[in-house]
A and B are shown apart, each in its own frame.
Chain A
Amino acid sequence: METNQNHLAIPIIKIPQGRLGMWVLIAGELVIFGGLICCYLLFRIRYPHWGAMAANTNTFIGALNTVVLLLSSYTIVRAHGAAVKLDIAKARLWMMCTLLGGVMFLVDKSIEYAHEISEGFTFTSPKLVAAGDHVGSLFWSFYYIMTGLHGAHVLAGMTAIFIVMMQIRKGNNMHRVELVGMYWHMVDLIWIFLFPLLYIAK
């Protein structure tokens, strides 16, 4: 065997298991979204017509949602900063702000969905299909599946933040604030990619 002077000294990878588990989970989730974004991108290259469809998305609400998610990412790192100092009240306050950001995101998204559905752009877009524009209807299928899956992750992240907020009331599991924070940043990351793909690139 190799000579290793230090063979009883332990640290090889200095990372707590909660955070390592969260990184692995994030990597796994990013592959799911990565595959979906790949599929979208391939069809986007194939159909220049999708640019005209993307013009129907509401860039203002998209940008607003980006700002909301960035701000809520900021508040959750502040919650982590407070948790490190064992300041429970402050950590919970910042987490509350993050939850508020999540609610705001979902409200914006609902308004946007309602507007698009009222214009006839749904999952299958029967109006476009009736006009013979099958390719355009495929764009909306992709739009709803991508934003819908992202919205589901927003909901999951909010649930996790809420649960941890309840857990840390008495100072238990303070390290989990950082873990849910990491998950929330991942939700933010995905949106950073979805926003230019669906809203800006027309």
Chain B
Amino acid sequence: MTTTILKPGINVGLEDSHGPGNFEPIHNSPDHDNVVFATAETDYHGHPHYGRVLVTLLLLLGVSLTVGYVFSPGIAIALIFLTALWKVVLVVRNFMHMKYEPLFVFIAVAAVALIIYAFFFGVYPDITAVPRDVTYPH
């Protein structure tokens, strides 16, 4: 078992794992054989302009709060959920760094959305389309 400590005195990430196979996940290292552990540094993948993303997110929040006063309810709700979706995409891609991850990760997370949609689709008629005689005050 070989280990490489990248900077003297700074022990990076030795606890998680040992053994072969860890030589694979290095992104920018020119030397695949010697660097063993993925660390905060070797793993560095560049980053987006975080401040700009934050400002966009806050602007979108403002939009979702104000559309209710501008448009009719149907359009407003559609817009609110579109902005929510846009916010999610921004956070996942930029803050969670999905845009630097391999396709595999995108597929794993997209599968969640598909599965939830399948559930919604299958249950929809049984909960919503069946008249029930529950009364409530209007």
Contacts and interface: CB of A to CB of B under 8 A. Distances in A.
Interface in B99-138: 101-102, 104-105, 108-109, 111-113, 115-116, 119-120, 123-124, 127-128, 132, 134-138
A130 interface: no
B80 A196 contact: yes
Contact of B40 (A20, A30, A43, A177): A177
A83 B136 contact: no
Given A70-B57, A84-B40, A131-B137, A200 B68 contact: yes
Contact of B112 (A30, A74, A178): A30
A175 B9 contact: no
Size bracket, chain A contacts: 35 or more
A35 B112 CA distance: 10
A46 B15 contact: no
B96 A134 contact: no
Interface in A164-181: 171-178, 181
Given A67-B58, A185-B91, A16 B136 contact: no
A200 B120 CA distance: 22
B75 interface: no
A14 B24 contact: yes
Interface string A6-49: 00001111111111100110110011001101100111011101
Interface residues of B, number: 67
Contacts of A193: 84, 88
Contacts of B105: 15, 20, 23
A156 interface: no
A10 B24 contact: yes
A182 B32 CA distance: 27
A19, A78, A133 — which one has the most chain B CB atoms within 10 A of its CB? A19
Contacts of A84: 40-41, 44
Interface in A31-87: 31, 34-35, 37-38, 41-43, 45-47, 49, 59, 63, 66-67, 70-71, 73-74, 77-78, 80-81, 83-84, 86
Interface string B6-46: 01011111011100001111110000100000111101100
Q: Which 8 A-B pairs have the closest CB atoms?
A: A16-B38, A34-B116, A174-B40, A175-B40, A42-B127, A10-B24, A135-B136, A171-B10
Given A23-B109, A24-B108, A34-B115, 10 more contacts: A15-B101, A42-B120, A42-B123, A59-B65, A70-B54, A73-B95, A84-B40, A135-B136, A176-B13, A178-B40
Interface of B: 7, 9-13, 15-17, 22-27, 32, 38-41, 43-44, 47, 50-51, 53-54, 57-58, 61, 64-65, 68, 77, 80-81, 84, 87-88, 91-92, 95-97, 101-102, 104-105, 108-109, 111-113, 115-116, 119-120, 123-124, 127-128, 132, 134-138
